[in-house]
Structures are given as structure tokens and as C-alpha cells.
Amino acid sequence: MSVEYDFSSDESILITESNEIKRRILYRLEDEGILVYDTNARVSDEPILPAIKLKSTISPNKKNKKSRGLDYDTHQFQNISQYSPKKNFQQDYTLVIPSDTLRFSSKFESGNLKKAIKLNDNEYRLILEYDTETQGYTQWYYFSVKPYKAPHKVRFYITNLMKFESLYNDGMKPLTFSMKKMLNGHKTWERKCTEVSYYKNQYLRPNENKFFYTLTFAYTFDDPEDTIFFAYSYPYTYSDLLEYVETLQKKHPSILRVNNLCMTLAGNCCPIITITSKINSYTNWDEEMIKLEKSAAGRRIMRIRESRNNETNKTKHQDKKAVFVTARVHPGESNSSFMIKGFIDYLVSDYKDASLLRKKIIFKIIPMLNPDGVIYGNYRCSLLGVDLNRRWNKPHRLMHPTIYYSKKALQILSEENEVLLYCDMHGHSIKKDIFMYGCYNSGKEVLDIKKNVFIRLIPYVLSLKNDNFSFKNSKFRIEKGKISTARVVNFTEFNILSSFTLEASFYGCTNFPKNQDHLLTPQLEKLGRDLCNTLLIFTSPRELKKKLNDLTYKLSGKTSPPKSCTQERFEEEYIGTINDALQNIDGEMIEGFDIEDSDSGGSDFEGSDNDDKKVSFKKKTEKSDTDKKIRLQNTAKSISPIDIVSESLAPSTPKPLRFFRDMAPLKKYRFRDNQSSSAIKDRTKLTDEKPNDITENGIKLKPVLHPSSIMFTREKIPHDSSLINAVKISKKIVKKSQFFEKRNKLQIINTIKNKLNNIF
Ligand SMILES: [Zn+2]
């Protein structure tokens, strides 16, 4: 097939049509350049894939819909295009490109380059895919480039970024990975880009009166045979996770269990890991699945029955405390995967402390709350185009299955064992350091003050163990924009005092030595290990009391440490000053307006709707920030030595240049719930809720073997309000159980009261 290039012609010229492949063949000019890569096209020498039909529902009038709330989600859910468990790529046409052109690809897991436009020999404009079903949230990028000559210095411009501020101007650099080096045994992500800069550009955002931002960087290709990958943060894909949990399960069968919490919208499994000593006598997954489908009242009745029947096994675990950890609700925050990996690796290790923790605590870990988003290369959203970390208050079983079942699993856990910690791991794009967001009690009673001190305990102890963790940058508050996040919902609904968002900067830490600027994966993993190790304070009442006294003394700002902190002494000397100190810190926070927290999101549509306001607000607060710095300088000092790691060994190496559709289907990971089919049968007998709501309300759904029992086929979703009806019905069920929940809540509050009184 011969194709003639016509460089002088206008946009989109049809050159030829081949009956053989039934695809238009195009050479295309775009934005004053030549289009050299488009996800919707195949390049002429790439293999031909069978044609698939994928359509997105994004339309301009959708912008008018409020992006928050169930109505929006329902609309999205009813109209969503078909997504497969693996990422699919259309080949609408064949793209003809000049031979002296860099060759781009993002057709692999988590890849998200949409287009590349050659401006001239040394400059390329790049456009990223928006998060699925949105017109925004671009921040994460992952793509590969194959050079055609060397040495060749090329400048790239990613021109459709949304965030109004970035650490790139402070020194942050994109990650690069050389395939050639990997084949020679040098399996390393590097930061080889130069002349990095970030600025507002002149491209208007669709349907908005706002501009995009550009990230530009230069890279020198030094081998024409190499392929270089570029990424925002160390990639950690869903396949990486499946490999990891499979290994874990094989290696540690006596202390660890991996199960499928539920299926995602695209039909992927969401692994949940349970770690504790003598796991074989712990409630098996079949029972847990039944509980997950029951109302609070139903679970209560079930528990009473259980305790009669099964005394011996239950006692082994009922005195244990519990810890619940999650990550990757925001798919682009891949650095959080390394923290959670460190946490798990430490916990399953042979260390004596790890063994003690397993003996005293039941750990439930969900390492990837948004597998679909990770596979499709999203930065923040699920396939519905919504931020799942704004759906914890009312998660919907069909629309937000991973959140719905995570919340339920945590609720059940908190009913049976005291939850010491809930931690949701994230990455932060605007601030340096690793730090936490915690919650806050607004009351002025002694108990409230004690709670506020206690809330700070884990971050405080962690800062003593880990140099990269900053206690002084950790904030404790509940903003309007955060009331539906995991940390706030789990704090308010389940009374978990230590409920945190853990944030690791995509860049580095303020206390780094001169020869280091970026956080490396071993440091992220160490943070996870240290967080796990921090929980040891809960295994020693003496140590717990001592650390709380230290913290109380620090927060109060007194000059001499108390000899002992008795109840009276605490009330006389500390309450007033601590309250003042806490008030001062929190006074700097304006309700519902958080300038620094990338987790704030603002609107669900684009992460930066309040950009301009935020910028001016930031300027105003800069002065008080300095004051705050001075005031807080002495609140926490790290004591452990810094371990600097010279290079980072990322476990995740790119899966290069293969079409996703060509790869063998992902293995069916059955984990350990092999008997789930019999469990489903049993459930028909055991549950008081209807097991066959599968065909209820006009929604025809196909049952699958997992707790949600449901994988919908989209063509069957009706275009009426039956989903809303389904929601109404589920509300009624909640009412029935409210009495039990209320009673349960009172019990928890009393337990906390007694516990805090005993410790202080
Ligand atoms: Zn996040």
C-alpha cells in the first residue's frame, strides 16, 4: 500500500480507502503540526485489531448537571459506555506519519497519552486523555517514546493539564525509564528530564472561561534502538497488584488471606487482604460475605446465634483490636501503593514486633479501591467519572461497589473489634513531605480535648520513627468539602478517632539533604513499615500512657515536663493551654476552604474550579504561614537517622509496546474463596434480605460469585427512574436497623470515654 504525503494540504485529507481493512487512512495536520499519535488510530505498520465500538457519553450539556450527588451518578450509570475489564483501544482509522518522527505509545495498562503532535523536529505537543466520562482531572501521565536518531534533544509540551499549581517549578521532574537499560539489568526509574517548567497556557478549556496549564520538559535520546517511558509517578498497575497478592497468599497461608471484596463496574476483582495470627480460625470469607449483605439488625441477630454456636473459635479473635487500611481510591496516586506495600511487607515479616501485632490485631487491607481507574489510566475518578473519595457518606452498591463494600466491611469490623486506626493512603501534588489529615472534635468538654489529643497520637509517634513524616504539616480538621471523604465519614459514623488520610508528596521532603530531592520508593515503603510499627504502642499500656503524656506536654507548650500526669493535674494544668493551642492551629483554617490540600477537589468536575480564589487566598495566608512555622517548629522533632537510598528500584517495570487486547486475558484470580458458589446457595437460605434483588425494579442483572452478586450488562439498563426507586427501597431497609445502630453508637461512645479516662 503506498501513501503519498502532502505536507502543504489542509487538515484531515482522505488519502485512500482500502477495502481490505475498511479503515480510512489519514495524514492529518492539527494545531500547526502533524498528528503523529492518536489513541483512536493505528499507525500504518502496527497490527490490525478487530474493530470495536466504544462510545463515550460526554456531551457539552452534561456540564450543566450538578456533578455531586446520586442523581448525577445515576445519570452517568445509565448512560455509561461499555468498559471491559482490560483497556480497549479503538482503531477508527489508520494514521500515516512521516518516518523521521518519534513513535509514541500509551496502549498499555495505566497509559493515558491521547495525542502527540509534531510541531517541528525537536518539539512535540502532547495531549492527555481526560479521566473516563469527564472533561478534566488530567494530572497523571504514562506513555512511551521511541526515537529515530541519536543523540536527539527533544522538547515536550503537555498542554491540557488542570492543576493551577505544581511542584514542577520547585524542582520536581518527570520519571523516565529506559527499556534498553532494563534489558541490561538496570531496572530503574530515573529523572533524566531537563528544563522542566509549568505554566498557564492559552488553550481554553472546553465550555469554560479558563485556560489549561502546560508542563514542558526536554529529554535527550541517546540510543535510536531504545524505548523510553515517561511517567508522573512510579507506575504501579492493577496487574502488579494481582501478582503481589498472589505471591503473598502463597507465602503466608497461616497469617494472611486474600479475597475478592466485590466486582468493579468493568468486572475486575477488588482484593481485600486479612492479616492476623491463626487466620484459619478467624471468621471465614463465606460468613463475611453473608454479613456484608446483611443489615445491621440482621448482623446483630446473626452474631447472637454465632456466639451460642461457636464459642471456641470466636474467643481467639474477639479480644483482638482491628486496623483498616486502604489506598488508590485516586488511581493516579501510585506512590500510595508503595506505602501500603511497605505496610503489608512489614506485617507479614518474621520480626518479633510484626508477630506481636498479628497476635493482638486483625488487619484488613484494601490496596486498590479503584482498580478500573488504575487500568484505564485515570488520575482521580472511577469509570463513572466521579471521585470515589466523595462518595463514602452514601455509597451505592451498584454504582460505587468498592466503596459500598469497603464501608460495610469496616462497619462490621468496628461492631466486632475496636478499630484502632483507619488510614487511606494518597499522593499530594502541591505540598512537600509525607503527612496526615485527621479529624477534630468541636466540643469544649474535657473529654473532647482528650479526644483531640488522642487523635494526634499516631501521627506524633510516627513522626518520631520516620524522618520523612511531618507532624507539623499534619492537619486535624473537618472541612465542608471533605464531609464525604473516607476519613471524615469513618470518624463521624463509626467513631474511629484515628481516622486519617495519609498524603505523600509526589516530590520530596523539606528536610532532605542536598543530594536528594525526590521521594524514592524505598522511602515510601519505609513509611508504610513505620506506620505499621507505630501500632506497637497499643500493645503496651505503659508505653501508650507515656507517649500520650509526652504529646500532651508538647501540645500544651509548657517548658518543663510533668513528673506525672494524673487526672487532676491534667485537668488543672493542661486542658486550658492545650485547648488554646489547638484553637490557634485550627483558627487558621477557614471552613470549607482548604488551599493546600489536593484532596479538596472543590468541584467534582475539575479539580481546580476555585483556582483564582485559591491563589489570592494563598497570598494572604503566606504571612501567617511563617508565623505558624515558627510556632510549631518545636512540636515534633525526628530522632531516627535518615536513611538515604541512592536509587530507586521500582518493582513495576513497564509492560512495553504491546496492545492490551493482544495480551493474554488477566488470570482469573480465585483467591481463597473457592467455595463461593456454595456460599451463594447457602445465602439464599440464610439472609433475611431478598437474595434475588437481581431482577428487581426492572433492572436485569447477571449474578456472579462475589458478595455484590451483581454484574450488570449495560444494554439491559432501563432508561427510567428505577434506579432511583432502588435507592428509595434501600433507604427503607436502613430505617429498620436504625435502632440497633443508635444503640451501637452509644456503646462505642461509652467505650471511648472509659478508655480515654483510663489512659490519661
Ligand atoms: Zn488523593
Give the pLDDT band of residue 128 (cuts 50, 70, 90): very high
Query: Quick one: pLDDT at residue 91?
Result: 79
- Give the per-residue SS3 of 663-719: CCCCCCCCCCCCCHHHHHHHHHHHCCCCCCHHHHHHCCEECCCCCCCCEECHHHCCC
How far, in Å, is the centroid of ligand 1 from the Cα of 370? 11
Predicted confidence (pLDDT) per residue in 161-212, tens digit: 999 888 999 999 999 999 998 888 887 899 999 999 999 999 998 878 889 9
pLDDT above 90 for 378: yes
Predicted confidence at residue 622, as pLDDT, reads 40
- From the CA of 402, how far away is ligand 1's center (Å)? 16
295-310 residue pLDDT tens: 888 888 887 777 776 6
Whether omega for the bond prior to residue 151 falls within 30 degrees of 0, making it cis, is: yes
- Please give the DSSP secondary-structure letter assigned to residue 570: I
**CA 527 to centroid of ligand 1, rounded, Å:** 17
* pLDDT mean over 421-438: 96
Q: Is 602 exposed, middle or buried (0-12, 13-18, 19+ CB in 10 A)?
A: middle
Q: Is 80 exceeded by the pLDDT of residue 702? A: no
Distance (Å, whole) CA 502 – CA 434: 7
Q: What is the pLDDT of residue 515?
A: 87
Q: What are 552-587's pLDDT values in tens digits? A: 888 877 666 556 656 566 666 666 667 666 665 543
Q: Which helix (H) or strand (E) holds 247?
A: helix 238-251
Q: Is 416 within 8 Å of 747 (Cβ atoms)?
A: no
716 pLDDT higher than 80: no
Identity of the residue numbered 183: L
pLDDT score for 588: 38
What is residue 372's predicted lDDT score, i.e. its pLDDT? 95
| Nearest CA among 493, 443, 500, 406 for reference residue 744 | 493
Name the least confident of 144-158, 413-427, 664-678.
664-678
Q: How far is the CA of 674 from the centre of ligand 1 (A)?
A: 34
Q: In the block, which residue shows the cell 436485569?
A: 700
Mean pLDDT: which of 311-325, 456-470, 634-648 is highest?
456-470
Q: Which of 90, 89, 97 is nearest to 25 (CA)?
A: 97
The gap from C-alpha 714 to its chain's centroid, in whole angstroms, comes to: 26
Q: 53 C-alpha to center of ligand 1: Å?
A: 32
Predicted confidence at residue 476, as pLDDT, reads 93
Residue of 333, 503, 525, 606 marked catalytic: 503
Residue 135 has a CB neighbour count (10 Å cut-off) of 20
| Structural domains of the chain ordered from first start | 37-44+84-231 (2.60.40.3120), 244-282+317-589 (3.40.630.10)
Residue 42 backbone dihedrals phi, psi, to 5 degrees: -105, 145
Q: Beta partners for 42?
A: 94
Beta-carbon count within 10 A of 14 CB:
10
Alpha carbon of 475 to ligand 1 centroid (Å):
15
d(CA 367, CA 470): 23
d(CA 726, CA 649): 48
Distance, CA of 478 to CA of 198 (rounded, Å): 31
The proportion of the chain whose per-residue pLDDT surpasses 90, expressed as a percent, equals: 46
Separation between Cα atoms, residue 175 and residue 738, nearest integer Å: 50
DSSP code at position 537 = G
Query: How many A from CA of 564 to the centre of ligand 1?
Result: 41
Task: Specify which residues 177 forms β-bridges with.
Answer: 189, 229
Give yes or no: 418 in active site: no
Q: How far is the CA of 483 from the centre of ligand 1 (A)?
A: 15
Q: With beta carbons less than 8 A apart as the criterion, state whether 506 and 598 touch.
A: no
Q: Residue 138 phi/psi, 5° resolution?
A: -70, 130
pLDDT digits over 214-239, tens only?
Answer: 999 999 999 999 999 999 999 999 99
* Gyration radius of the chain's alpha carbons: 27
* More confident: 563 or 757: 757
Out of 21-25, 28-32, 340-344, pick the least confident. 21-25
Lowest mean pLDDT among 337-346, 351-360, 391-400, 601-610: 601-610
- What is d(CA 19, CA 26) in angstroms, rounded to the nearest whole number? 15
pLDDT, tens digit (0-9, with 9 covering 90-100), for 77-99 = 877 777 888 887 777 888 888 88
pLDDT interval class at 431 (50, 70, 90): very high
CA of 89 to the centre of ligand 1 (A): 27
- The answer, yes or no, to whether residue 638 has pLDDT greater than 50, is no
**563-577, 646-660, 710-724, 726-740: least confident range:** 710-724
Residue 167 carries which DSSP code?
G
pLDDT at 621: 41
| Closest alpha carbon to 426 in 278, 327, 360 | 327
Tell me which of 61-70, 338-347, 398-407, 615-624 is least confident.
615-624
CA dist 393 and 132 (Å) reads 23
Inter-residue contact 286 to 680 (CB < 8 Å): no
In angstroms, rounded to a whole number, what is the distance separating the alpha carbons of residues 74 and 180? 47
Lay out the sheet containing 41-43: strands in order across. Answer: 13-18, 23-27, 93-95, 41-43
Taking residues 541-550, report their average pLDDT: 88
**Per-residue pLDDT at 371 exceeds 90:** yes
Across 413-427, 504-518, 571-585, least confident range: 571-585
Q: How far is the C-alpha of 162 from the C-alpha of 164, rounded, in Å?
A: 6
Cα-to-centroid distance, 597 and ligand 1 (Å): 9
Most confident by average pLDDT, 341-345, 601-605, 650-654 = 341-345
Average of per-residue pLDDT across 60-89: 71
> Could you tell me where the beta strands, DSSP code E, fall in 497-550?
499-505
| Reported pTM | 0.79
pLDDT in the model for residue 538: 94
How many CB atoms lie under 10 A from the CB of residue 488?
Answer: 23
State mean pLDDT over 9-22. Answer: 44
Range with lowest mean pLDDT among 347-351, 368-372, 583-587, 679-683: 679-683
